[in-house]
Amino acid sequence: MALAPMADITDPPFREIIAGIARPDIFYTEFISADGLMHEKGRAHLLRDARFTSGEHPIVLQIFSANPEKIRVASALGKELGFDGIDINMGCPDKTIEKQGAGAALIKNPQLAKEIILAAKEGASDLPISIKTRLGYNKDELEEWLPELLSVEPAAIFVHARTRKDMSKVPARWERVARAVQIRNTYSFGHRMSKTLILGNGDVLNVAHAKKLAKDSGADGVMLGRAIFGNPWLFSDVPKSARPPQEILETLVAHTELYENYFARVHPVKSGEAGDTKRQFDGVKSFAVMKKHFKSYIAELPNYKELQSKLMDTKTAMEVKSIIGEYLKNLV
Question: Which residues belong to the active site?
Answer: 92
Is residue 327 within 8 A of residue 244, CB to CB? The reply is no
> How would DSSP label each residue in 31-93?
PEEHHHHTSHHHHHHHHHHT---GGG-SEEEEEE-S-HHHHHHHHHHHHHHT-SEEEEEE---
Q: Is 202 left (phi over 0), alpha (psi -120 to 50) or beta?
A: left
Report the candidate in 30, 27, 134, 116 with the shortest Cα–Cα distance to residue 75.
116
**Cis peptide bond N-terminal to 58, omega within 30:** yes
Quote the CA–CA distance of 290 and 3 in Å, as a whole number. Answer: 19
**Quick check: helix, strand or coil at residue 299?**
coil
Quote the CA–CA distance of 89 and 134 in Å, as a whole number. Answer: 10
> How would DSSP label each residue in 210-241?
HHHHHHHHT-SEEEE-GGGTT-TTTTSSS-GG
